[in-house]
Every structure is written in C-alpha cells, then in structure tokens.
Amino acid sequence: MEKPDRPTLVYFGSRGRAEVIRLVLAEAGVDWQEHHVGRGTPPSAGRPTDLGELAASGDLPFAAVPVWEEPGGFRLAQSAAIANHIARAHGLRGRDALEEARCDELLGAVEDVRAELRKIAAAAPERRAAVREELAKVVLPRWLGFLERFLVRNGGGKGWAVGRDLTVADLALWYVLELVRDNGLGASLPDHPALGAFADRVASRPRIAAYLASPRRPRFVPLPT
C-alpha cells in the first residue's frame, strides 16, 4: 500500500533507467516507495498501473517513466533530472560548481556507454552476435580506458571519481560497470584495475550493500543474445 508521507518512484518493476535513482536513494538513506507500471495491469492504491492509463491521467509529464513524486506535490520526470535532484538534496553532487561540472561530465560519458549497450537490443537478431563482438573487443575497451583515466586523475584512482566524496556520478559509473560485467561484455575489465577496485568500494558501502542484497532490488534482465 502506498503511503502519502513517503516519496514515490513511478517506474516499471525493473532496473533500467530508474536504477541509478534507486542507488542514490539507497546511499542517501531515503525511505521511498514505488508505483510499478505495466501494460494491462489492474490499478494499485487507487491509481492506474497500466502505462497508457497512467499517462492519460496526467500524472506523467511526458507520458513516460520514471517519474518522481514528493509528498508536498512536487513531481519530476526524466531519469537524470530525478537522480540529480535527489543527489543535490543529500550532498551527492559535489562540493562546488566545478565538482558539479565534473559530475555532469562523467554522467554524460556513462550515458554514452549505455547507449552503446542498447545497440544490442536495437539490432536485428541475426546481427546481435556481431554487435556484441564489436562492443566486447573494440568499443568497450576504448570506453573503459577513458573511464579508468577519468578515475585515476582524481587522487590516483584510490577514492572517488570527483573530489573527495562519493557522488551520483560514482553510482552511475558503478552501475554501468555492473551492466558490462553481467551482460558478459567485461572481458577487458581486468585490464583496468582502478575501475575494478572502485567497483568493489562502491558495492561495499553499507547502504549500497544492503540495497543490493535486498528483495526490493529488481531482478537482472540480460540484454538479448
């Protein structure tokens, strides 16, 4: 049952574009609830869960999810805007304007990598093996090299990607590294030890570790083969 005194994340019951938001919420210690949507699903807590019906209700600013709703009535769409709004409210966006700019730089790079991964799903079935091979052998090693250098230039890569504190950019970077690994595309990850050690540091943070082990985390759905 949804409770009006808690913020609500409106999204599918999957990781996707909402997972960085969930990681930020977990690290920030926010108590949130979720309104899962789908197609042809019955209403929940007195509101539609069917995506088309929910869009028709006016609750989705751009007829798409994720959407973030706060108890005072504030509603925000677009995954990056939501993640950054929550991160800013909880000190996870850097200490000054320059660090915020670095966060945005890394968030943009991570989104570029995710766009490369989405090419697998967009490819015709008979082309997917070739797309996977190109990603594993050429595209991802190149990007992992960029990301390793980004990390290392900040204190030798022994801490976080931006400044002295963990930020939303670290959580986004961690998630894309998980996607690469779990989709069987991480053959070159051992060639980037700073990224590997970084991923371990993020995953071992108490609140992140608790979220990763919790039943509320949606199950992993691999990219098509």
pLDDT tens figures, 83-97: 999 999 999 999 999
Query: Helices 19-28 and 206-213, interaxial angle, to 10°?
Result: 130
Q: Is residue 211 part of a domain?
A: no
Name the strand (E) or helix (H) holding 67. Answer: strand 67-69
Is 66 found in the same domain as 120? no
Residue 42 belongs to what domain range?
8-91
At which of 76, 91, 106 does a domain end? 91
Query: Do both 85 and 107 map to the same domain?
Result: no
| Distance between CA atoms of residues 110 and 180, nearest Å | 11
Residue 220 resides in a domain: no
CA distance 124 to 144: 26
Same domain, 111 and 201: yes
Residue 219 in domain: no
Domains held by the chain: number: 2
pLDDT digits over 68-82, tens only?
999 999 999 999 999
| Sign of the four-CA dihedral 203, 184, 12, 62 | positive
Same domain, yes or no, for 119 and 201? yes
What residue spans of the chain are helical by DSSP H? 19-28, 51-56, 79-89, 97-122, 128-134, 140-152, 168-182, 193-203, 206-213
**pTM here?**
0.96
- 136 shares a domain with 150: yes
| Pairing relationship of beta strands 67-69 and 75-77 according to DSSP bridges | antiparallel
Residues 6+ apart with CB under 8 A from 22: 9, 15, 211, 217
Any domain includes 224: no
Q: What is the pLDDT of residue 159?
A: 97
Q: What is the CATH number of the domain that holds 33?
A: 3.40.30.10
Structural domain includes residue 23: yes
56 and 106 housed in the same domain: no
- Decide if 34 is inside a domain: yes
pLDDT value, residue 42: 77
CATH code, domain with 174: 1.20.1050.10
**115 lies in the same domain as 192:** yes
Do residue 32 and residue 69 come from a single domain?
yes
Q: Would residue 221 count as lying in a domain? A: no
Confidence grade of residue 41 (pLDDT, cut at 50, 70, 90): confident
Q: Are residues 36 and 126 in the same domain?
A: no
Residues 136, 180 contacting (CB under 8 angstroms): no
Domain-ending residue, one of 60, 91, 122: 91
Taking only the tens place, the pLDDT of each residue in 176-196 is 999 999 999 999 999 999 999
Is residue 198 located within the same domain as residue 151? yes
Are both 47 and 108 inside the same structural domain? no
My answer on whether 149 and 50 are in the same domain is no
Q: Read off the pLDDT of residues 121-156 as tens digits, 9 standing for 90 and up.
A: 999 999 999 999 999 999 999 999 999 999 999 999
The CA distance from 12 to 39, in Å, is 10
Q: Is residue 70 part of a domain?
A: yes
Question: What DSSP state is assigned to residue 36?
Answer: E
137, 140, 142, 143 alpha-carbon torsion, rounded to 10°: 180
